[in-house]
Structure 1
Amino acid sequence: MFALMQSTRTQSLHLFIDPPTGLKAVVAIHSEKLGPALGGCRYLPYADDESAMADAVRLAQGMSFKAALAGLSLGGGKAVVLRNPHVENRAALFEAFGRFVDTLQGRFIVAVDSGTSTQDMDCIAQSTPHVTSTTACGDPSAQAALGVFAGIRATSQARLGSSNLEGLRVAVQGLGNVGYALAEQLHAAGAELLVSDLDPGRVRLAVEQFDAHPVTHDALISTPCDIFAPCGVGPVLNGQTVMQLRCAAVAGAANNQLTTLQVADQLETRGILYAPDYVINAGGLIYVALKHQGEALSTITAHLAGIPARLTEIFGHAQAQKRSPARVAQMLAERLLYP
Structure 2
Amino acid sequence: MPVTATPPSAGSATGHVFDRIDFPVDERAHEQVVFCQDSVTGLRAIIALHSTTLGPALGGTRFRAYRDEGSALTDVLRLSRGMTYKAAAAGLELGGGKAVIIGDPHAIKTPELLRAYGDFVERLGGRYVTAGDVGTNSDDLDLIGQSTAHVVGRNVIAGGSGDSGPNTALGVFQAMRAAAVRAWGDRELQGRTVGVEGAGKVGFELMALLSDAGANIVVADPYQPSLDRALAAFPQVRVAADVRAERLDVYAPCALGATLNATSIEMLDTSIVCGAANNQLLDPSIERALGDRGIVWVPDYVANSGGLIQVEGELRGRSTEEVRSRVEKVFDTMSFILDTADRESILHGIAADRIARRRLDGPA
TM above 0.5, one fold?
A: yes
Structure 1 position 89, deviation (Å): 6.0
1:219-234 → structure 2 map (5 Å cutoff): 219-234=242-257
SS of the aligned residue for 1:3 comes to coil
Q: Would the aligned equivalents of 1:44 and 1:82 in 2 still touch at CA under 8 Å? A: yes
- Counterpart residue identity of residue 308, structure 1: F
Determine whether 1:301 maps to 2:324. Answer: yes
Match of 1:170 in 2: 194
SS at match of 1:139: coil
C-alpha deviation, 1:12, in angstroms: 1.5
Q: Which residue, 217, 226, 240 being the options, matches 1:215?
A: 240
Between the aligned residues of both structures, percent identity stands at 37
Would the aligned equivalents of 1:170 and 1:191 in 2 still touch at CA under 8 Å?
yes
Tell whether the 8 Å contact from 1:124 to 1:131 is kept in structure 2 after alignment.
yes
Cα deviations across residues 12-70 of structure 1 (Å, max 9, x unaligned)? 21101000000000001000000010000000110000110110000001000000011
- CA offset digits 1:266-309 (Å, max 9, x no partner): 11111100111101110000001111221111221221122010
Per the alignment, residue 72 of structure 2 pairs with: 52
Picking from 13, 19, 36, the partner of 1:3 is 19
Task: Name the structure 1 match of 2:94.
Answer: 74
Q: Aligned to 1:328, what secondary structure does the other structure show?
A: helix
Q: Residue 223 of structure 2 aligns with which residue? A: 199
User: In the alignment, is the contact (CA less than 8 A) between 2:173 and 2:209 conserved in 1?
Assistant: yes
Note if 1:263 corresponds to 2:286. yes
Q: Deviations over 1:184-217 (max 9, x none)?
A: 110111000010001123223333432111000x
- Name the CA shift for 1:186/1:14 in 2 (closer, same or farther; >3 Å): same
**Residue identity matched to 1:142:** P
Other-structure match for 1:113: 133
**1:41 and 1:81 in contact (8 A); partners too:** yes
Task: Return structure 1 stretches of 4+ with deviation > 6 angstroms.
Answer: none
Whether the aligned pair in 2 keeps the contact of 1:261 and 1:327 (CA below 8 Å) is: no
Q: Secondary structure at the match of 2:163?
A: coil
Normalising to structure 2: TM-score of the pair?
0.89
The one-letter amino acid paired with 1:3 is D
| 1:311 and 2:331 correspond | no
Contact 1:274 1:324 in 2 (8 A): no
Q: Render the CA deviation track for 1:159-188: whole Å, top value 9, x for unaligned.
A: 111111111000000011001100111011
Q: Is the 8 A contact 2:170 2:328 kept in 1?
A: no
Looking at structure 2, the residues matched to 35 and 161 of structure 1 have their Cα atoms a distance apart, in angstroms, of 37
The 1:161–1:168 alpha-carbon spacing in structure 2 relative to 1, beyond 3 Å, is: same
Residue aligning to 1:181? 205
Which residue of structure 1 aligns with residue 184 of structure 2?
160
1:3 deviates by 2.1
Residue 334, structure 1, aligned to residue 357, structure 2: yes
Bigger shift: residues 81-90 or 120-129: 81-90
Give me the whole-angstrom Cα distance separating, in 2, the residues matched to 1:225 and 1:208: 23
Q: How many residues align?
A: 337
Give, in whole Å, the separation in 1 of the partners of 2:132 and 2:109: 19
AA of the residue aligned to 1:312:
S
One-letter amino acid matched to 2:194: V
The Cα of 1:225 is off from its aligned counterpart by 0.4
Paired with 2:104 and 2:216, the residues of 1 have a C-alpha distance of 39
C-alpha deviation, 1:84, in angstroms? 4.1
In structure 2, the partner of 1:275 is 298
Is the 1:22–1:87 Cα contact (8 Å) retained in structure 2?
Answer: no
Give 1:86 shift: 7.6
**2-structure distance, mates of 1:88, 1:175:** 24
Give, in angstroms, the shift of residue 332 of structure 1: 1.4
Residue pair 1:268, 1:323 contacting (<8 A) in 2 also: no
Q: Is the 8 A contact 1:39 1:77 kept in 2?
A: yes
Q: 1:87 Cα deviation (Å)?
A: 4.7
In structure 1, what is the Cα distance between the partners aligned to 2:342 and 2:320?
35
Q: Which moved more, 1:157-166 or 1:199-208?
A: 199-208
Unaligned runs of 5+ in 2: 1-15
- Worse-superposed segment, 118-127 or 233-242: 233-242
TM-score under structure 1 length normalisation: 0.96
Quote how far apart the aligned CAs of 1:132 are.
0.6
In structure 2, what is the equivalent of residue 290 of structure 1?
A: 313
**Bigger mean CA offset, 4-13 vs 142-151:** 4-13
CA distance in 2, matches of 1:267, 1:204: 32
**SS of the counterpart of 1:80?**
strand
Distance 1:277 1:41 in 2: 18
When the two chains are superposed, the root-mean-square deviation of aligned CA atoms in Å is: 1.5
